[in-house]
Each structure stands twice: as structure tokens, then as C-alpha cells.
Chains A and B, each alone.
Chain A
């Protein structure tokens, strides 16, 4: 089964981080990614640029509206994701708990909707 692990972190942390913080943070993520590739859980994953670069798009009554920023202001922002393969939620939670961001932020684990093949 596939699960999307959405990593919510306070993105200001990265702004305030020193050079060595950044290096350590990157090393932790690289190490984690390697470990789940080896274990066969990895399908994909990306880090996102901060929400100040985000644009929200809506179409209402056929009219496009484009606004600056994320849909809602929150303390923690979506900063990246992993798409993983796991046999069940327990395994997915195990993997998610090792995502470095889980230590200070929150990782939301969402099962992927599987549609019947046509």
C-alpha cells in the first residue's frame, strides 16, 4: 500500500539555521532517504521551497483568482513529502517516525487512494 508522508515544520527554523545546522539537517534527510531506499519503502520525495514562494489558485464561476501565499496561515507549513510503500499503517508510522522533521514538526501520514484499473 502507498502512503504519502507530508512533513509539516516551522519553516522559520530553516531561516534561522546556521550553516552547520543546515548541513546537519541535510545530512539527516539524505541519510533517511538512503535508508528507506535500501529498505524498499521509498517511491519518491521532495523538499519544497518556503511558503513565501507559494501561490494559491482558485477558479470560481469560471473566473481565475491567483493570490499570494498558502491557503491558510499555520504555525507549521508543508515543507516536503515522501511517497512510500508499506505493508500497513504500522510500518508506515515506523517509517514516518524516522523522518527528521518528525522530531520538531509533524508528519501527516495519508493512505493513497487506489483506483481500480480500467
Chain B
């Protein structure tokens, strides 16, 4: 097996159209066809729980695809290359498309992929699904890549988000581990709000201002039942917890109906499972909703006082939002300006500029 794979990697088409497509690349195409067939069947039989569907293609084909995912997302490969290879080899995007999504030029990206493939060959990264004892760590690495693809789709390309969901669905089907199911749920729940997240002109609409009638109820329902299913497996992890938080938001009929106590509780568990300053920031925002803005501000200022997230625009934006709700205008303006100085994504910048205009300031940058 190893030798066959090493040979395949050597002949792996490096750029452009393969002149002599390898069998497993052909099988990638076959999966697409199978997926299309499945989709059609799903439309007909929509109330069948997708996750319960067992893969129907021959075992070796399923196995082949899983092996390919685990190889592309091997933690010994450069993280950028993992994402790029996944998009190219599994989702079937061209190098140009991947490069455009990551704001890099095709030659740089192609170079990255070439290096990764050389490492697969030279360090002998096996073409296999990891053994049980390595599975948690290796699956985490795969799920991380899928989530990166999803997030990349958030601003730039909705189709990347859909690719990530497709991939997440496949993983949850083939390897129904709690965190795989949790990630699929998280992506479905976030994606369910896609229609309401931006105006027709591309302006961002914050959660509390979104038209909830535009939320995709069916998708939310699927996400919620996936969270329940994952929790039932009793191996709680960060993706499941984030999905549960998204589910609480998604199930609130109005912003005022949001169960902030539940959300803060979930963040408390998340902080224990996967502590990070960003989670702490989100928890602070939830505490502000439950106990009042001043409580949230105290928590955010504690994070910043530790010199963490000081360069993270959303930390300043969150502070600014809380000052705005407290009605302390000068502090709100200062914090929005700090956030604006750090924000990169155009839609986020325009939202911050809108906030500043609402506070009577004409944005200078």
C-alpha cells in the first residue's frame, strides 16, 4: 500500500489538468457523483435523518476518501498547505480558486502544495486512517481544517462554506465521533443565518438586528438534533459546545428571548474544555447580556489588562458596544475607533463606521 501511495504522490498532478488522471483522483470524481445522487435522494426523502444514513458505496471507496482526508490534514504538514490540499484534492477546487479564496497568488499556493506533497513522500506520511489510539488528535486536526475552510467562506465565498459543510457531513457520516457531529452542527447553525447576516448591498447585520424569519428553520432543526445526538455520546468537546451556544441563539424567537444564563453556562464549560482569550471575550459579552454591560466591561478590561487580545479588533468592538449600551458616548467612540484601526475585513469595517456615524462621528479612516 505504502509504495503504491508513494508512487501516486510522485505522479500527483502538480499543476493544471492531469494529463493522465490517477485512479484515486478519478474516484474523487466518483464521490462527487455519488454525493449528487445522495442529494437527489435526500430531496425526495427529506425527513430521513441524514446522519443515520450509512454510506452505501463499497467500503474500499469510503475508506479511500477518508484516507485522503487524513493524509491532506496530517498535522506534520504546514497548516496552510493542509487547507489548500483539502480544497484541491477533496473538494475539487482548482489551484486558482483556492488561491483566490486565500488572497494569495496561484504560484505561491502551488509551491506550498508541491512542498507538502514532497514531505508526504520524503517523510513517508502514510496514506491511511489513523489507528484508534491516534484518532482523537488526528481527527481534531481534520476538523480544524474543515472549520478553517468554513470560516474562509464566511466573508469571501459562500460556496466554500457549503464545501466545508459537505465535507463535515461526510466526516460525520463516515466517522460519527462526537466532535465531528458537533462541528457539522456548528456549521449548519451558523450557515442557517446566512440570508439574514448581510444586506443586499453586503452590509453586515449584527445578530440582534437580524430578521429571524429569514433563518433557515430546517437547517437549524438539523443542527439542534445533531447537537443533542453528539451530547448523547457523552464526550463533550469544544465544537459541540460552540454548536450548543449557536443552537441557543438559533432557538430564540427574538433577541430578548435569548437564554443568556444557558449561554454563559455553556461558555463556562467551554472555558474549561478549551480555554482561550477569544472564548473568554465571548463569555464576557454573554455575561454583559445576562448581568448588564458594566459586568461585561470589567471582564473584557481584565483580558486587555493581561495584554491579551489588545490587537484583536473584536475585543475593542465588544467594549465599544457595551459603552454604547451604557450610554457613555466618548468611551464608545474611542473604542470603535480602536476597533476600526485594527479591522481588516471590509464588511466589518463598514459596520464599525456605521456605529461611529450613529454616534455622530464621521469616520476618518
- For B122, B123, B126, B130, which residue has the most chain A Cβ atoms within 10 angstroms? B123
Q: A87 to B124, alpha carbons, bound, how many Å?
A: 8
Whole-angstrom distance between the Cβ of B116 and the nearest chain A Cβ: 13
Closest to B130 in A: A90
Question: For B74, what are the chain A residues with a Cβ–Cβ distance below 8 Å?
Answer: 89
Q: Let me know if A89 and B130 touch, CB within 8 A.
A: no
B359 interface hit (Cβ, 8 Å): no
A-B contacts, 20 of them at CB < 8 A, read: A1-B124, A87-B126, A88-B2, A88-B124, A88-B125, A88-B126, A89-B74, A89-B76, A89-B123, A89-B124, A89-B125, A89-B126, A90-B126, A90-B130, A90-B131, A90-B134, A94-B134, A109-B123, A111-B122, A111-B123
Give A contacts to B, CB under 8 Å: 1, 87-90, 93-94, 109, 111
Closest to A91 in B: B126
Whole-angstrom distance between the Cβ of B135 and the nearest chain A Cβ: 12
Question: For B123, what are the chain A residues with a Cβ–Cβ distance below 8 Å?
Answer: 89, 109, 111
Using known A-B contacts A87-B2, A88-B2, A93-B76, determine if residue A111 contacts B124 with beta carbons closer than 8 Å.
Answer: yes
Whole-angstrom distance between the Cβ of B133 and the nearest chain A Cβ: 8
Q: A109 to B130, alpha carbons, bound, how many Å?
A: 18
Q: A94 to B131, alpha carbons, bound, how many Å?
A: 11
Q: Is the interface of B mostly helix, strand, loop or mixed?
A: loop
Closest to A86 in B: B124
The 10 A-B pairs with the shortest beta carbon distances in the complex, nearest first, are: A88-B126, A88-B124, A111-B123, A89-B125, A89-B123, A1-B124, A89-B124, A90-B126, A111-B122, A89-B76
Closest to B134 in A: A90
Question: For A111, what are the chain B residues with a Cβ–Cβ distance below 8 Å?
Answer: 122-124
Question: For B128, what are the chain A residues with a Cβ–Cβ distance below 8 Å?
Answer: 90
Taken residue by residue from 112 to 148, chain B's Cβ proximity to chain A (1 for < 8 Å, 0 otherwise) reads as 0000000000111110101100100000000000000
Number of A-B residue pairs, CB cutoff 8 Å, is 26
Taken residue by residue from 2 to 33, chain B's Cβ proximity to chain A (1 for < 8 Å, 0 otherwise) reads as 10000000000000000000000000000000
Question: For B124, what are the chain A residues with a Cβ–Cβ distance below 8 Å?
Answer: 1, 87-89, 111
Q: A109 to B122, alpha carbons, bound, how many Å?
A: 12
Question: For B126, what are the chain A residues with a Cβ–Cβ distance below 8 Å?
Answer: 87-90
Closest to B76 in A: A89
Whole-angstrom distance between the Cβ of B8 and the nearest chain A Cβ: 15
Question: For A93, what are the chain B residues with a Cβ–Cβ distance below 8 Å?
Answer: 76
- For A1, A87, A90, A94, which residue has the most chain B Cβ atoms within 10 angstroms? A90
Q: Which of B229-279 contact A (CB under 8 A)?
A: none
Whole-angstrom distance between the Cβ of A43 and the nearest chain B Cβ: 16
Closest to B74 in A: A89
Whole-angstrom distance between the Cβ of B305 and the nearest chain A Cβ: 27
Q: A80 to B124, alpha carbons, bound, how many Å?
A: 23
Whole-angstrom distance between the Cβ of B129 and the nearest chain A Cβ: 11
Q: A90 to B131, alpha carbons, bound, how many Å?
A: 9
Whole-angstrom distance between the Cβ of B196 and the nearest chain A Cβ: 44
Q: A94 to B135, alpha carbons, bound, how many Å?
A: 12
Q: A109 to B124, alpha carbons, bound, how many Å?
A: 12
If A87-B126, A89-B76 are given as contacts, then 5 extra A-B residue pairs at C-beta distance below 8 Å, sorted by A number, are A88-B126, A89-B74, A93-B76, A94-B134, A111-B122
Q: A35 to B111, alpha carbons, bound, how many Å?
A: 40
Whole-angstrom distance between the Cβ of A54 and the nearest chain B Cβ: 28
Closest to B70 in A: A90
Q: A1 to B122, alpha carbons, bound, how many Å?
A: 10
Question: For A89, what are the chain B residues with a Cβ–Cβ distance below 8 Å?
Answer: 74, 76, 123-126
Closest to B126 in A: A88
Closest to B133 in A: A94
Closest to B125 in A: A89
